[in-house]
Every structure is written in structure tokens, then in C-alpha cells.
Structure 1
Amino acid sequence: MSRARISIDRDFTISEVPHRLFGSFVEHMGRCVYTGIYEPGHAQADEQGFRKDVLALTKELGATVIRYPGGNFVSGYNWEDGIGPVANRPRRLDGAWHTLETNAFGLHEFVDWSRKAGTEIMEAINLGTRGVNAAREIVEYANHPGGTYLSDLRAKNGHKDPFDIKLWCLGNEMDGPWQIGHKTAQEYGRLAQEAGKAMRLVDPTIELVACGSSSSAMPTFGEWEQTVLTHAYDEVDYVSLHAYYQEHDGDANSFLASAVDMDYFIESVVATADAVRAKGKHKKKINLSFDEWNVWYQSGLDTEDQPHRVNNSGWREHPRVIEDKYNVTDAVVVGTLLNSLLRHGDRVKIANQAQLVNVIAPILAEPNGPAWRQSIFYPFSLMAELAKGKILRTEVDSDKVDTAKFGDADLVDVSVTWDEDNGRMALFFANRGLEEAADVEVALRGFDAKSIIRAEVLEAPEGSDRFTKNTLAQQDQIGMTPLSGVKATGDELRLTLPALSWSVVVLEVGKN
């Protein structure tokens, strides 16, 4: 039996849980929009063509903010194509994903959908093929009350009141050679500075996210952030990070330790941003927006069941692209990535799992068919629901997992929150061990555990293995089940985590 001892103390907190940490992402890619959130004619479609079954699952998921409309898509997108009468909107070639974009769904539709979903909007602008003028014009169209050409055009198109979008991304992955309009750090830093300045002249209340590195493995990582922030520090509020993980060649141990890389990525960007702050003698701190993250099988998969590669043989509308089917192992990894984000909540104030539906997503939806939860839905939805109040620091003394990529990693990964207002503590555990259960002791210093409100676990069902998935035919193979044997008395919690599992425990610890 493996073991771990964890210590927490009510006096050692990291920050309040950021509301925007549990965000998602909708891009005009594959079937995320069309036959995902939007499918007129579907039996579950409302009067605007929005799938009510997907809306219900979005609310259950607990997504607080949605990034839109990309992603790589946005770097070749004209926002004006998605406004006005649908019959008059142009059909365009989308070079990012080699598809035909009908523009039947655009800015107005997304605003209406977001309001029904109860989510904040995080709007991305095109700094690939466009620039300062288009950036300031979309802010005027979206946010100015009225009395100008663009704000009156919004009213003419059906929305008299401003959209009041506060959160804006200054482009997408501009460090990537694959990006339409890819730029050097110097080129992008200056453009972001001038675009941000022009946007704030229209609406000084907005918040701006500058593009950071699209992965910690980029050859320009570190230097990119330093250069961009040297130019744009005063104009922006956040710098972005993107990261995707997958299991390579059966190396499950390294895959399960992916959060070690996420920790390194976050801490490196914080250090770089703070170095620019010191050198430039800036007063404010730049926080982080981890606005793309997930498990994504970018290699080793090319099947009809799990299509990956973009097919360049012809221009099609919303083809099936990277519709990964997630298993038990993937769900445990997603749980650890969420733990990493939560543990860094003092600086990571925004995070968006990519994407919401169909495309590397927690929700799958068939055209003219049902929608259901993937395995990765559960860690996200439960943490979005239960992670409230303050994030507590954790000291972990755990047996280790030997990994080829990251060296020794803690067998047990954990994050903890404490809600003073309702007297509840939520603990989120992952056991990375493939074979052995883990005995865990948690020292609750300064707390008095009165009762166990909730104890649930996600693991491979009896008689199955770690590759088990929820499918169209079997939509509920993976989910949360009761976790037995949890004991909490006074200042101690004891439990046993099954091998390869993700668990949540909620304790009543009394109000202040």
C-alpha cells in the first residue's frame, strides 16, 4: 500500500478562488459551434437554434467564462462577417482548419447563447491579418452605448443595449509559425501595445490579455514573454499560456505527472512577468490567463472513432476534427491539471479548458442525436461547483512515481479550498499510481472536522480498465461513485484512494 501525508493550516492561504478559473472555450473549429452548441432543426433546438441539451450540460459543467471565437480561427477572421442578417453574411474559406465558414453563427448569436448559458464572454480579436483599427471598432460595436455609426449598427442588428464585454484577447498564439499572420515578439509586442491602447480609448473599463507562449516547449519561450511585456506591460492585464498533454508510447507515468510541467510553466511565466515589472519599475502585477489547456492526442491517432488530422482534401462545413474520446486516465490527468491551476490561483486568474463541446471537449453531441458527458467532465464540474472561498496551501509528503519526463513526482496530488461563509472544506485528490491504492492522512491544523458531507471517486469500473470511456452506445460507464472508508475527526482526515483515481471529499469544519 502506498502512502501520503498532507498538511494544511487555516492561517496559510494562497488567495480567493478566482471565479474565472473554471472557463471553457468555443472556437469555429470542427463541430464545436455547428452541431455542437448550435443546430437549428435539432429536436432539442430552441427558437434561436441553440441546443438545449448542450446548454443544460454547459450549466452543469459550471463554466464561468467562455473564450470565443478562437483559437487559430480568429487570426483569419473578419468579425463583421458574423453580424447583420444571416442571409447576407458571406461564406468564407477558413485557412486555419481548412473548412468552409458559413458565418450563420456570429457575435450576436454568441452573446445571446452566453446569456442563456450564464457565462461571461472572453472575446478574441484578430491580430494576425488585421490590426489596430479593427480592434478598436469591434470594441465600439460591442460596448459603446449608442450615437455612433458602429453602436447604432449594433442596435439596427437587434441589440440596442451594449454587450458590455469586459475581457478581450489580443490575438491568439502569435508566437506560432502555424498561425496566420505569425509575428516575432518585437512585432507582436508593438502591435499588442497599440491595439490595446486604441481599444482602451474606446472603453477604458476593459481587461486585456496579451499572447504568451503557446507551450513551454516553444524555442522562444521566456524570451517571448519578456519582449512582449516590455512593450505592452502598461496596456495589458494578463499574459496567456497554452498547454496540451497526452500519453506517448504507453508512458502512463509521465502522462499522469503532466501537472509537474504545468507547475513549471506557470511559475516560469510569473517569474518572467515579475522581472519585467522590476526592470520597468511598474506598480501593477501582470496576472496569468491559462486560456487553453486540456488533454489532446495530437499524435498516434487517426481513426474514424477519434479523428485527429485536418483533412486537406476538400473544403467542407464543420467536419469532425479532433473529437478525442476520453478515458479514466485522461480524467485523472485533467483533475491534476485543475489542481495545478487552483494551487496557483494567486496569479492564474483566468483558465479555459479547450474546448466546450465535440472538439477535445468534456461534452459530446451527435448531429440530430444526444449529448453526453465525457470522463473529463466530472473533475471539472465538481471543482467548479465545490472549490469556493480560500485556496489553502498544501504540504505533501508522498511516495513517488518515477517518470521518464519529469523525474520523481508525488504519487498523490491534491488541492484544497475552505469556504469560511458556509464552514466547508473541499479536498480534491488524484492517485497517480496505476496498481496500488494509497493511504492518505491529512492534518487539518486549525480546523475541527465535524462531519463528511460528500465523498466520491472516479475510477475504472469493476471488470474494466483505465482505457474505459463513455460512448454514444454507453454514455454512463464513467462517472462519480461513493468513496467508502473516509474518516474525519477533529484535526485529522483519513482515507484510502483507489489506484488510478480522482476523488473529492467535502467536510463540515464549522463557520468562523
Structure 2
Amino acid sequence: MPSAKLVLDSAFALAPVPRRLFGSFVEHMGRCVYTGIYEPGHPTADAAGLRSDVLDLVREVGPTVVRYPGGNFVSNYRWEDGVGPKAERPRRLDLAWHSIETNQFGLHEFMDWAGKVGTEPMMAVNLGTRGLQDACDLLEYTNHPGGTYWSDRRIADGAADPFGVKLWCLGNEMDGPWQVGHKTAAEYGRLANETAKAMRLIDSEIELVACGSSNSAMPTFGAWETEVLEHSYDAVDYISLHAYYEERADDPLTFLAQAVNMDHFIEDVISTADAVRAKGRHRKRINLSFDEWNVWYTEQFHGDGPQPKDRPWVEHPRLIEDEYSVTDAVVVGTFLNSLLRHGDRVTVACQAQLVNVIGLLRSEPGGDAWKQTIAYPFEQMRRLATGQILRVTATGDRYDSAGYTDVPIVDATATYDAETGRSAVFVANRSLDETAGLEVDLRDIGGSALLAATTLHAGNGQDRHTTNRDDHTAVVPGALKNARLADGTLSAQLPPLSWTVFELEARRS
């Protein structure tokens, strides 16, 4: 039986848990917006056309920030099409996803939705087909109090108070040849810098994210970040990262190890940003916004059905509606661990996407809505990771796969909140068929109480491919009954292929 031992000590804290680490993403793509969060006529729709069943699930999952409106969609989007009377809003071709955009859901609808679910909006501007002036117009519309053309337009459109959006993306994946308005690093770096400077003249309190590489396999990775930041370092606050992973060639052990790649990706971008800082003798440090990440079965997306040019132009077609399994949930748990253990520099992250499109949630037009398996690790970490991120000292058994060597079978992170005395330990067992023994030395945060131990795994005749598609509660966390806490040591037997969370309360002096 594989085993692992963890040592936790509150003296070895990495950084405060960044609350924006638990973000998500709403893009005008497929059914994320239309029949996802917005469906007038649905039995649960409110007066604004928002699906109340989905609203309730989003509140439970609790994303702390939501990026909008894209994504590839933003690079040929005219934001002003989505404001004003709905009857006057134009129908447009969405070039990114070969769809018809009706513009019945736009900026005001999104801000209303964000307020109802209690999340912070993260807006993206179009630096593909538009540019600096359009970004400034949108910022003036959203954030300026009044007395100018665009702010008065907002007031006339029904929002007397500014929206006060503070977090902004300067375009999306501008390194990608697939992007409408794709640019070289020099072209984008200059544009990002000048746009950032102009936007700060309108609102000096905004935070700005420059586009990094679309993924670490891009041929320009590293060189792109270097050149973009050499142009824009002092004008921006973050550089972005995007990554999607999938199981290939029936190789679950490599798939389960993909957080190793995420770790390396993050560390490479940190090193690159810090090298630019040193070379340019800049004083501040650039943080990372990992504002697109998830499991995405891209081979299935590109291999099934007609290619975009062969599809008819229709409203909100079904696109990449992946059904997530037990295996996917465990992998997503390891991604969350990767983000958390780098939370000193990754201070914004957005799971992509929230509903239907590779979503935490699924919904059917006119029908029901449910949580996918991957929603549970996300919801648990968002709720329980508070206070400080601890540096986890770990020893234990490892394995090799076709894609990786020396992979820890047990992957873990932990947090400790001195104000509440609560700590949380997040653990994945990557073994497909073996229980893993776990010991956690809690040292000076030794718990007087184990408040809860829950685990998500395949049980009761299920297998690693079980999803929540037909039975919406088939895969949910349940009690781990073998966990014990004695003399400052937590011990447990982790089921094969599982995601387990321990909630503890420290002794009070």
C-alpha cells in the first residue's frame, strides 16, 4: 500500500490565501450564457431572464471573481451592441465560435447577474478588431460617475451608479494565430502598454492583466512573455496563463500527473517575469492571472462533427459540453492544489467555464441544472481555504508514467487561519487501484478536533468514468469514516483515485 507523510507548521506560511484564486469564466460561447445562466421563459427564470436554478448553484459553488465576456469571443466583440433597449440591439456574426450573437445578454445583464451571485466582475477589452479608444470608451461607460458621453449613456441605459469594475484583461490570447486580430509580441506589447496607460488616466485604481501565452506548448512561449513585459511591465499588474488538459491514449496515470505540468508552467512564467524585472530594474513584482484552466477534451471537440466553416450560423450551438467523471474531479483537485501552493504569485485564477461549456455546472434548455463532478473540489477549496497557505513538507511513494517520472502518489496542500483556529488539508490519491495511507503531523497547529473528513471517489459499483449526467448526485463527497486525530497526528486511509478534504480546529490556549 502506498503511503505519504505530511508535516504542517504555521511558522512556515507561504502567503495569505488570495480570494480571487477561486474565480470562474463566463464567455459568449456555446450555451454558457444563453440557456446557461440566461433563459427567459425557463420555469425558474426571474424577471431579468436569469435562471434561478443556475443562480442557486452558482451561489453554492461560489466563484469569487468571474471573467467576461471572453475568451476568443471578445476579440471581435462590440460591447455597445449589448447595451440599451434589447429590441434595438443588433444581431452579429461571432467569428470566434461561428455563431449568431443576439446581444440580448450584455454588460448590464452581466453586472446584474454578478450582483445576484455575489461575485466580482473581471472584464476583458477587445484588442483584436478594436483597440485603445474602444477600451477607454468601455471603461468610461462602466466606471465614470457621469457628465460625459459614455457615462451618461450608462445612466440613460438604467445604471445611475458606476459599475466600478477594477479588474481588466487587455485582450485575450493575442499570441494565438486562431485569434481574430492576432498580433506579434512586439505589436501586442506596445498596444497593451499604451492601452493600459490611457485606461489608468480614466481610473487610476484599476488592475490590468496582460496576455501571456495561450499555453506552455506555444512555440513562442517564454519569448512572448519576455517581449510583452519588456514593453508593458510598469503599466500592468498581471501576466496571464491559460492551460487545458485531457486524458490521451487511455493513459490515466499521465493524465493524473498533469498538475506537474501546471506547476512547471507557473514557475517558468514567474521566472520569466522576474528576469524582466531584474533586467529593467523595476521595483514591483508582476503577479500571475491563471484566468483559463480546466480539463478539456479538445481531441473530441475537434474530431466530432463538422468544422466551423461547415456548420450553419445559429444561435448558441452546443459546443464542448464535456461530461466530467470521477477521474476528472481528482485531476481538477490537483490543479487547485497547484494554484494554491503558488498563491504567493498566482493571485487571480479562473476555471473555464462556469456553465455548460467545459463547465462546473450543466443545464438543459427548459430543463434542470446540476453540478458536475469537478464542481465539488472547487467549492470545497473556495469555502475552506482561508488564512495562510502553508508550506507542506511531504514524503511518500511516487510513480512513473508515460509522460512523467517521480510523481507523488499523494498530492496535498493545506491552509491555516489563526483568527478562527481552523485549518484545512486538501489531498488527492492518484493511485487508480490502491488505498493510500496518510499521516499528517500537525505540530503547533495540532487539532483538538477533526471537524470533518470527506472524500470523493468511485464507490457503490461505480468506476472512474462515472459522471453526474444521468444521476445528478452520483458523484458527490461523502464522509471518510476511517480518519483519526490523536496526539497531534491525523491518520487516514485514502480510497483509490480520490479527492479528500480534512477540516480541523486548533487547540485554544
| TM-score bracket relative to the smaller structure | over 0.9
Q: Residues of 2 paired with 1:309 and 1:499: CA distance?
A: 39
The residue aligned with 1:407 is 405
For residues 303 and 368 of structure 1, do their structure 2 counterparts lie closer, same or farther at Cα, with a shift above 3 Å needed?
Answer: farther
Q: Does the CA contact (< 8 Å) of 1:308 and 1:322 recur in 2?
A: no
What residue identity is the alignment partner of 2:491?
Answer: R
The residue aligned with 2:207 is 207
The residue aligned with 1:432 is 430
1:398 matched to 2:409? The reply is no
1:498 matched to 2:495? The reply is yes
Q: Deviations over 1:167-211 (max 9, x none)?
A: 000000001000000000000000000000111011111000000
- Name stretches of at least 5 consecutive residues in structure 1 with no aligned partner: none
Pairs within 5 Å for 1:285-304: 285-300=285-300
Q: Does the CA contact (< 8 Å) of 2:325 and 2:464 recur in 1?
A: yes
1:309 Cα deviation from its structure 2 partner: 6.2
The residue aligned with 1:480 is 477
Q: Residues of 1 paired with 2:328 and 2:310: CA distance?
A: 29
Q: Residues of 1 paired with 2:309 and 2:508: CA distance?
A: 57
Q: Does the CA contact (< 8 Å) of 2:91 and 2:102 recur in 1?
A: yes
The residue aligned with 1:73 is 73
Pairs within 5 Å for 1:337-486: 337-471=335-469, 473-486=470-483
Q: Residues of 1 paired with 2:280 and 2:507: CA distance?
A: 46
1:490 Cα deviation from its structure 2 partner: 3.1
Q: Deviations over 1:259-313 (max 9, x none)?
A: 0000000000000101111111111110000000000000046799xx8965732
1:451 Cα deviation from its structure 2 partner: 1.1
The residue aligned with 1:131 is 131
Q: Does the CA contact (< 8 Å) of 1:420 and 1:511 recur in 2?
A: no
1:462 Cα deviation from its structure 2 partner: 1.8
1:401 Cα deviation from its structure 2 partner: 1.9
Q: Residues of 1 paired with 2:114 and 2:301: CA distance?
A: 33
- Name stretches of at least 5 consecutive residues in structure 2 with no aligned partner: none
Q: Secondary structure at the match of 1:450?
A: strand
Q: Residues of 1 paired with 2:396 and 2:322: CA distance?
A: 32
1:488 Cα deviation from its structure 2 partner: 1.1
The residue aligned with 2:266 is 266
Q: Residues of 2 paired with 1:280 and 1:511: CA distance?
A: 48
Q: Residues of 1 paired with 2:360 and 2:164: CA distance?
A: 28
CA RMSD of aligned residues (A): 1.3
Q: Deviations over 1:314-357 (max 9, x none)?
A: 10000110000000000000000000000000000000000000
Match of 2:311 among 307, 313, 330: 313
Q: Deviations over 1:24-69 (max 9, x none)?
A: 0000000000000000000000000000111110010010000000
Q: Secondary structure at the match of 2:322?
A: coil
TM-score (norm 2): 0.98
1:411 Cα deviation from its structure 2 partner: 0.2
The residue aligned with 1:222 is 222
After the TM superposition, which of the residue ranges 18-27 and 295-304 deviates more from structure 2?
Answer: 295-304
1:374 Cα deviation from its structure 2 partner: 0.5
TM-score (norm 1): 0.98
Q: Residues of 1 paired with 2:301 and 2:140: CA distance?
A: 44
Q: Deviations over 1:403-439 (max 9, x none)?
A: 2112220000001001111111100000000010000
For residues 271 and 44 of structure 1, do their structure 2 counterparts lie closer, same or farther at Cα, with a shift above 3 Å needed?
Answer: same
Q: Secondary structure at the match of 1:233?
A: helix
1:510 Cα deviation from its structure 2 partner: 2.9
Q: Does the CA contact (< 8 Å) of 2:38 and 2:50 recur in 1?
A: yes
Q: Does the CA contact (< 8 Å) of 2:301 and 2:320 recur in 1?
A: no
1:474 Cα deviation from its structure 2 partner: 1.3
Q: Deviations over 1:221-258 (max 9, x none)?
A: 00100000000001100000000000001110110011
The residue aligned with 2:61 is 61
Q: Secondary structure at the match of 2:431?
A: coil
Q: Deviations over 1:357-382 (max 9, x none)?
A: 00000100000000001100100001
Q: Secondary structure at the match of 2:299?
A: coil
What residue identity is the alignment partner of 1:403?
Answer: S
Q: Residues of 1 paired with 2:416 and 2:360: CA distance?
A: 26
Q: Secondary structure at the match of 1:113?
A: helix
Q: Secondary structure at the match of 1:139?
A: helix
